[in-house]
Structures are given as C-alpha cells and as structure tokens.
Structure 1
Amino acid sequence: MALALMEPTTSTAPQNFKPLVGKNYEFKLNQSIQDLLAEIHKETPNFSPFIHIFHELMQAKLDPPLESIWVYAGLTFRSRNLQKDDILDRVTVSKDLFQLVSACSGSCSSSKSIALLAPVVFEVYKVVVELLGKDLASKRERKAMREAKSLVGVILGYANVCCCKDSSEESIGSNLITPFVDLVRVWMDSDDGIDSFLPLVSGEIRERFSVGGCVDVVYLAGVVLAELFLLELCLKFTAGIAREELEKELKIWTVGSISGFQSFYFFETLIRMLQEEILPVTSLLRSEDEVLLRKVLYDAVILVEYSFLNPERVINVPTEHMKCLAMARLIITHEAVEFFREGGNQMRAISYNNAFSSSRLPSQIIKWVTNQIGLEEKANRSYGSSPKALIKWLLNLENQGIKVFDDSISRRRTKIVLDNSKADFEQPASKLEDIRVDDDILFCIDNKGEDKDTDKEKMIASMSSAFVSAAHTMKSTENEGRKRKEGLSAEKKKIKFVKYDLGQNSDSTRTRSAVVSDDGVSSESEVDNPISDDDTDTKE
C-alpha cells in the first residue's frame, strides 16, 4: 500500500496567524528549518510538531520550495518507517517513499521534481547493495531483487517524464535557501553526511556540495540523474548474458538515455566522474565490470556528438561553465585515447581521435581561448586536430601565465603534463588511412527539441542503429564478417523508450502522476530494459 500523505486533523495555529505569503512565508520557512536543525542535534529529538508545520508550508504554494517538500517527506517517511530486517519489506518501503515524494512534487518544475528524488535513490541504493551481497538463495530474496530492479526502472521512467517537460525557463541560479549538508541531516541517522547520502558520485562532486553552501536545484537534478543512470547500468550486469552482447546493449541504452535526458548538468556529472581513476561503483560492480562500464561510457561521451550540448541550444548555461565542460571533455578524450593505446587497442584510440577531430569541440575550445587572450582565431589545424596536440597548445599558454583550465583540471595538471611528455604514438596521416575507421564512427544526433512522439522515436531508432554499426567498426578485421552479420541483426532492434503524449496532456502533474500507481508500475511510463533479464517477472 502506498504511503499516504499525513494531513493533521487539528491545527495548533494561533488566532492571529498571518497568511503564508511573501515575506511571511520566507520568514516562516527559514525559522522552521532553523528550529528543526536545532531539534536534530538534541539527544532525543521530537519531530512530530514539524510534520504539521512543513505540510502547511508545502501546501501554501503551487510550486513550493524544495526544502518544504524535502523536510516534510523526510519526517513523514521516518515517522512511518519502522526498522525492518526483511529485505523485501525494505523494497516496499522504498517504493512507498518514491510514491510520497512524487505525489508531493507533482506541481513542481521538472528540475525540482528530479532533485527531490535524491533521498529515494539513497534508500534504493542501500537495498540494492545489500541484495548484491547476498547469494539470493531464497525465493524471497530473488523476489526482492526483481522488485528492486523494477522500482529503479519506474523511477527512471518518472525522471524521463520530467525531462520531457520544456525546461527553457529553468536556468542555473535557482539556489536552495538551506545548505545541502543541513538538508542531508533530515535523512541521515548518523553523521556520515554527504559521502553516504550521494554514494554514486565522485569525491570532487561531493566536495562541491560540502563547500559550496546552497546548491543550485538544476545542478542537483543533474547529479541525481547521474546516480539513477549508474544504478540502472550496474543492475544490468546482473542479467547473466554474454559479455559481448552485454557491452552492445549497454552502449545502446547509455546513448539513448543521454540523448533522452538532454541534461547539460547530467552530462557534466558523467564527465567529472570519468576524470577519476575509478568510477564510484565499487560497491556494486567487480573491478573487471568497472573497466567495461568505463569503456561503454567513453564510447557514449566521445563517439557521439549530442546536439543538446551545442552552444546555441544551451542558452541557460553560462558561457564560462560551458567552456569548463569543453575542457573536461578534451581531457577525457585524451585520457581515453591513451588508455586504449596502452592497452593495445589502436583501432579504438584512432576512432576517438577521428571523432574528436570531426566534432565541434576543437573549434569551440579554440574560439573561446583565442577570444579570452585576444588573438585572432586561426584554422583548427594550426593547433592540431588531435586531443594531445590541442592540450600541448593549451599547456603552452598556461606556461605563459594564461589560465585556460579550471581548478578541477588544474589540480590534475601534473598528470596531464606527464602524459604529454610520453612518446607520441600518433602515426602520420598517410599511414592512418590504411586502418582508418568508417566516417560514420561519429554520429550527430540532431534532436531539435520537438515534442512529437514520432520524431523522438525515429531519432532514437536511428541513433541506436548508427551506434551499433559504429561499435562494430572498432572490432578486429579477422572477425569482420561475423560482426557485420551480428550488427545487421542488432540494428533491427529498437529501444523501447517511454512514449509520452505531450500534445494531448501538457499538464506536468497529470503526466508524471501516470508513472506512480499503487503497485509502483505503470504500463504507460515504464522504461523497458533492452536487456532480457530472466530473473525479472514481466508485469502486464
């Protein structure tokens, strides 16, 4: 049974109660949060009075502040969440929490609705980690794993619905009024803090939340999307299918998800995590699986040029922020090229170089930097078309005292310089022609933002086929005939993404509420998993 919203039957408001509008509302919200934080620090806190207060604050606005929903849902959840050792019951509790949060945020903006999923992801993650540590010998444990997988899929479906909403009016700058570290304390039973609450992000990203004070809602939404995305990818490793087939399916799903979310800050979070030596999935995957996941993510962020990242599309993101992401993408591409060269996979390294030189990224970086230092922009080849050549030029500028890298990259400057001091494995262009991969290795997804279902389905189907074909070009030539045959078969598959009729139902509340039902699954909202999972029941 879904967790019902707690609506107090009696009111303790004084007779001279002032309406919760304007400055009165802001004062009441800020004061209530401060009182709650003071109560949290007590040895035996009493949260009962605060449930009514934050319910009232949440109901007073059509699009209430994130803090009001966050605290109300947290206190209500904790008041109902009895300590249970049974793993299946804990999955049910996580489902109840998702239904509570999604019901409370039905009238909110898309970014706020996704950001509010942070505690839901936290609770589901804990259940998944415990299940992966079991041998799933009992029928109840196997059922719990099926339910957990289904729940993650439903939450992703809900997030997809939120992303489908036009977010042109949502821009960076919509900050929380309360430091994120304080909000986390509403959900944590200990002082573990952000490291435990955001388990599927890198240390650099968690540091931003710890040091930055009040976090931007749009940025938090991108981070939550990234956590959901990684959790789903890790669960796909439990499907028990052949590794080659798994890699193919992961690539298709990954590119389709990135293109479907169309979130700048989600993509940025993935890039920042790829900068780390190890992805933050060690609690979910074995080391060899983490390497495969990294290869899949490298392919998805380097070989595909996403149109939603074009400067003319990202009108709500500051130029300096876009420049920082471009620099991070440059470094990631260079590191990926070196990673595969050192591993003996020259074909993949060449593919990444070709994708980079054919993309808009080099010209964008050169334009931003030349404008910054006041030089006349020259042809791209003046600085080299490979990631390594462009980095050498940028490092030379930094040696002259011109800051072109942001702090997160500057801290890794020693490693970058060391990488560039290694012997250059690049071959002359004349020799590369003999082993050059197909020109189609870089595919541009031209999603112009139409809301029509048919346009989105055609785009995803086309992208899926292109990605599978390109992936096969990176295989060894001795298996070329067999791979091409498998590729033709794979190209006939379609990603079964959510079909949202935004034209008939433009109201975000009704659209998103279709995702949540009493059993946590809706046939109209569930994102079908392209990987067949024999361990998962099919629900009609």
Structure 2
Amino acid sequence: MKLQTLASPPLETLEPMLNESIYHYLAGFHKGRTDFSELSSIFFRLIQSMTDPPLEFIWFYSAITFQPLTHSQHILLSIKDLFHSLVSFRDPNAYGYSNSVSLVAPVLYRLVKLKCEVKVNGLDTEIIIGLVDEIIGYVIMCCNDGLVEREVRVCDSAVRCVGLVPIWIADEIRRSDGRVDGFKLFFPLTSDEIRKGVNGDCGMSYLAAVVMVETLLFRLCLMFESGVSRVDLCKDLKSCAGQIIQGFKKSSSFLVMLFKLLLEPSLPVGELFAKPDELILRRVLYEVALDFGPLLGCDKEIVILWLFVTNSALQFARENDDPVGVGYYLNAFSASQLPHQIISWVTGVTVMKPTVPDISSPKDIIGWLLILEQQGLKVCDHNISELHEKTLKCKDDEVKDGQAMVEDIKVKDGQTINGRRKRESTGFWEVQKHMKVVNGCHENLGDDGNSVADQEMVDMVH
C-alpha cells in the first residue's frame, strides 16, 4: 500500500523520537548489537511519508543502514552507494541547494577516513577521484543561479548535527572508549573555528559550505599522487582549484569559509600529506583567491576577507623568500577594483572625510580601517580588529611551526613526534627545497607581462 505523503512537521515535534532512537542505537551498538532492522524500517517509512524529510532523519536512517566492508574496493563501492542513496532523498530543484549539498557530509567523512587509514593502491585512488568528481558535479548542479537566489530569500533553516555525529563514528567511539574528538573526526578537513560553528544549531548554508570546502581540499590533495613534475602539478592544481571555486562561488558562505581558512596558520590537510605539500597547496589557493578578486561583486563581508587574504598571501611569500610570489600577489591586488570599492563604501557611510590611504598595498588599507573602526565607524559585520589580531597570531604560529620543523631534522624516519608518526619530508630544509620548487612553478607559469622591477621587488620584500 502506498504511503500517504505528508508535509514535514517541524523538527521540534520529531526531536524526542529521534533522540530516543539515537540513544537506543548507540546503547545497542556498544553492546555489540548489529541488527537494527526495526529502527531502519520505522525511519524508512517515516521519511517516505514526507515531502521534505529533515536532514537529521535522512542521516540517521543512512547511518544505521550503511554497511562498511573490509576490502578497500568494496569499501569504495559501499561509499559510492551511500552517496547515491543520500542524494536520492532530495531534489535540489524542490528543496534548495544548501539542504541538498549538506546531505553528502558523511560521504566526505568516509572517503577521507579511507584515504588516511587504509593503504589504497593506484586503482583505488582513481576510483576515489572519480567519486569526488561526481560529488563536485552534484554540488555545482545544486549551486545554479536560480536555486541559490531563491534560497537566500527565505530564512536559513538550522541543522542539529551534535546528536548525529556519534552515529556515524560509533565504531571509532567504541574502539577508543569514547576518548575522541567526534567533530574533528567527522569534519577532518576543517579548522577548529569552522567546527565550532557546526557544533550547535548552524544554518544549513553553513553546513553546505563545510561540505564544499572539504570537497575542494580533498580533491586537490588527491592530485599530489599524480606523479607529474612539481611544475606541472602547480599548473594542474591551479586549474582544478579555479574550476571548482568557479562552480561553488555562487554560495557566499563557501567563499567566506574558504577565505577564513586561508587566514589560519595552516590548512587542515596534515593527515593527508606532509608540510611541504601543504605549503604548495596554500600558495596555489592564494593565487586562485586573488585571481577571483575582480569577480567577487559587492559583498562587503567577502571583499574585506579578500583584503586580509591578500595581505596574508604577501606575508607568506615574503617569509618564504619568494619575491616572484610577492610580485604576483601585488599585481593581482593592483589589478583589482576592490580597494577602490572599499574606500567608496567607507566614504559613503560617514559624514567624516577620512584621508584616503595609499592603495598600493593591502596593509595600508587594513591600517586605515583599523583606525576608522576605533573611531566608531563600522564598514561591515566583520570586526576588523579581531581579523587583524588573528592574522598576527597566525604569523607567530607559522614562526613556531618553522622552529618545530628544524627539530624534526633530528628525528629519524619511523619515530613519532607528539604521539604522531613522522611523515615523509617534514624537515625545515626539505620545506625550503619545496618552496624553491614552487617558486620555479611561478617562474614557469609566468605573470602575463606584469612583472615587477627587480629593485622594486627587493624594496617590497624588505
């Protein structure tokens, strides 16, 4: 008999049932129970009876029915089945992009977990890349103009992830007797700050942005196993990152999150590869972020973050003795109209006539905004002082990281550092060698005739 389709009741009326089901599942799982067919049957019928089932119910049903296998290729097939099952519950054209994109967070968790914990061969890596590309295509499809424009007009619904994460990581909780950071396990390619935003009632667009950022980082990390030269790798990384960001950029939450991530002292990819590769990835993302400057439009929050990212990129290049990178970032900054846009915003919201700063570098504009903020002028929702303090702290952390890498030279392969296995190529001089390779990438890529004179470059570096 066909179930009657009903409008989804408010999540608040269903929460007691969901919470009780989560409790019974976890209690039974930790006692060794494996058959939860009665729970899966109840939730399947409930979801099928709704026109717009809450994400929390879809996740719970999918988690208790997901059967991870042992062989790596079998695991990949089960993860692929999980992806297709999750997206089948939602029609992006009916329910909006953020609801649909958020659904696939467990798929990213399972893929990263597989890559980090299981030794995969070349064929497995190709299958992983194929599935990640399928996820990227799905997200881009969800992020078309009509869906995003329609969704921003309505109130962003909240999603409560706290109770559902333990369901997905139940096996790891049992193995560690509960001594795990659940959110760090479930969202491995995000920062502590981003995870704090999820830990509670975050907006659905926020969770969707987390999925997008993790998908971008994971796809780029997989490219480091391609076996091509470092010069070609840099070109491929930049091309791939540019295409993905172009497809995702209609989500302002994604751009905000990506730019904030670039203000962190390191990217959250340490479980996937060594520090030198993280530096290469960071540099490529800086380049792409700055290249997107002319396309950012008039979103004040994103433009101000772009200004800070530009400043961080210049600091990064100078600290790594990379004059070509300094020139590249300064050229991208100068070619953008965003500095003029920022000054226009400021002068348009105050009766004061503040002295217009030198716009040849982001540092001057940031200093100008700091002074105006201290005088009580608010340009956007960001706290300029907090952003500035964050970038200063990140700079200090990077210096400490460099000192720590010098100590790594003394540690032989196979030993552990702070309880973690020493990864390949983590010495300070190895980092410097990789940075020289990246500088070579810049020189081979060229800068479209926008090179800075040598003496000017020396002055900028100093």
Q: TM-score range by the shorter chain?
A: 0.7 to 0.9
Q: How many residues align?
A: 389
How far apart, CA to CA, are the structure 2 residues paired with 1:112 and 1:10?
Answer: 26
How far apart, CA to CA, are the structure 2 residues paired with 1:70 and 1:27?
Answer: 17
How far apart, CA to CA, are the structure 1 residues paired with 2:352 and 2:394?
Answer: 28
Contact 1:119 1:197 in 2 (8 A): yes
Distance apart, 1:65 and its partner CA: 2.5
Q: 1:417 to 1:172 in 2, by over 3 A?
A: farther
Superposition map of 1:123-138 within 5 A? 123-131=110-118, 134=119
Where does residue 435 of structure 2 map in the other structure? none
Where does residue 109 of structure 1 map in the other structure? 96
How far apart, CA to CA, are the structure 1 residues paired with 2:103 and 2:161?
Answer: 12
Aligned pair 1:146/2:122, yes or no? no
Q: 1:26 to 1:281 in 2, by over 3 A?
A: closer
Distance apart, 1:351 and its partner CA: 3.1
> Residue 303 of structure 2 aligns to which amino acid in structure 1?
A
Aligned pair 1:340/2:327, yes or no? no
Where does residue 195 of structure 1 map in the other structure? 184
How far apart, CA to CA, are the structure 1 residues paired with 2:57 and 2:129?
Answer: 29
Which structure has the highest helix share of the two?
2
Distance apart, 1:291 and its partner CA: 0.7
Mark the runs of 5 or more structure 1 residues left unpaired by the alignment. Answer: 1-8, 12-17, 312-321, 420-467, 479-540
> Residue 389 of structure 2 aligns to which amino acid in structure 1?
R
- Cα deviations across residues 482-522 of structure 1 (Å, max 9, x unaligned)? xxxxxxxxxxxxxxxxxxxxxxxxxxxxxxxxxxxxxxxxx
> Residue 137 of structure 2 aligns to which amino acid in structure 1?
G
Q: 1:290 to 1:27 in 2, by over 3 A?
A: closer
Q: 1:149 to 1:374 in 2, by over 3 A?
A: same
Where does residue 158 of structure 1 map in the other structure? 138
- 2:293 aligned counterpart, secondary structure: strand
Superposition map of 1:303-322 within 5 A? 303-305=291-293, 307=295, 309-311=296-298, 322=299
- 2:70 aligned counterpart, secondary structure: coil
Where does residue 375 of structure 1 map in the other structure? 352
Contact 1:254 1:297 in 2 (8 A): yes
Aligned pair 1:384/2:343, yes or no? no
Contact 2:191 2:268 in 1 (8 A): yes
How far apart, CA to CA, are the structure 1 residues paired with 2:228 and 2:285?
Answer: 19
Mark the runs of 5 or more structure 2 residues left unpaired by the alignment. Answer: 396-443, 455-462
- 1:283 aligned counterpart, secondary structure: coil
Q: 2:261 aligns with which of 273, 278, 286?
A: 273
Where does residue 232 of structure 2 map in the other structure? 245
Distance apart, 1:230 and its partner CA: 0.7
Where does residue 236 of structure 1 map in the other structure? 223
Aligned pair 1:219/2:199, yes or no? no
Superposition map of 1:522-537 within 5 A? none
Ranked by relative contact order (alpha carbons within 8 Å, sequence separation 6 or more), the top structure is 1
Q: 2:245 aligns with which of 225, 237, 258?
A: 258
How far apart, CA to CA, are the structure 2 residues paired with 1:74 and 1:193?
Answer: 15
TM-score, length-scaled by structure 2: 0.74
Contact 2:314 2:326 in 1 (8 A): yes
TM-score, length-scaled by structure 1: 0.64
Contact 1:20 1:57 in 2 (8 A): no
- 1:215 aligned counterpart, secondary structure: strand
Contact 2:311 2:363 in 1 (8 A): yes
Distance apart, 1:402 and its partner CA: 4.8
Where does residue 92 of structure 1 map in the other structure? 77
Q: 1:297 to 1:117 in 2, by over 3 A?
A: same
Where does residue 52 of structure 2 map in the other structure? 63
Where does residue 150 of structure 2 map in the other structure? 169
Contact 1:328 1:409 in 2 (8 A): no
- Cα deviations across residues 167-189 of structure 1 (Å, max 9, x unaligned)? 21112765455522123223121
Q: Root-mean-square deviation (CA), in Å?
A: 3.3
How far apart, CA to CA, are the structure 1 residues paired with 2:394 and 2:96?
Answer: 45
How far apart, CA to CA, are the structure 2 residues paired with 1:223 and 1:50?
Answer: 29
Hey, which bits of structure 1, 4+ residues long, moved more than 6 A? Answer: 474-478
Where does residue 355 of structure 1 map in the other structure? 332
Distance apart, 1:475 and its partner CA: 7.8
Contact 1:181 1:193 in 2 (8 A): no
Q: 2:288 aligns with which of 300, 303, 307?
A: 300
How far apart, CA to CA, are the structure 2 residues paired with 1:98 and 1:235?
Answer: 19
- 2:164 aligned counterpart, secondary structure: helix
Where does residue 73 of structure 1 map in the other structure? 62
Q: 1:10 to 1:225 in 2, by over 3 A?
A: same
- 2:167 aligned counterpart, secondary structure: coil
Distance apart, 1:34 and its partner CA: 2.6
Q: 1:416 to 1:369 in 2, by over 3 A?
A: farther
Contact 1:333 1:387 in 2 (8 A): yes
Contact 2:136 2:244 in 1 (8 A): no
Q: 1:473 to 1:250 in 2, by over 3 A?
A: farther
Distance apart, 1:148 and its partner CA: 1.7
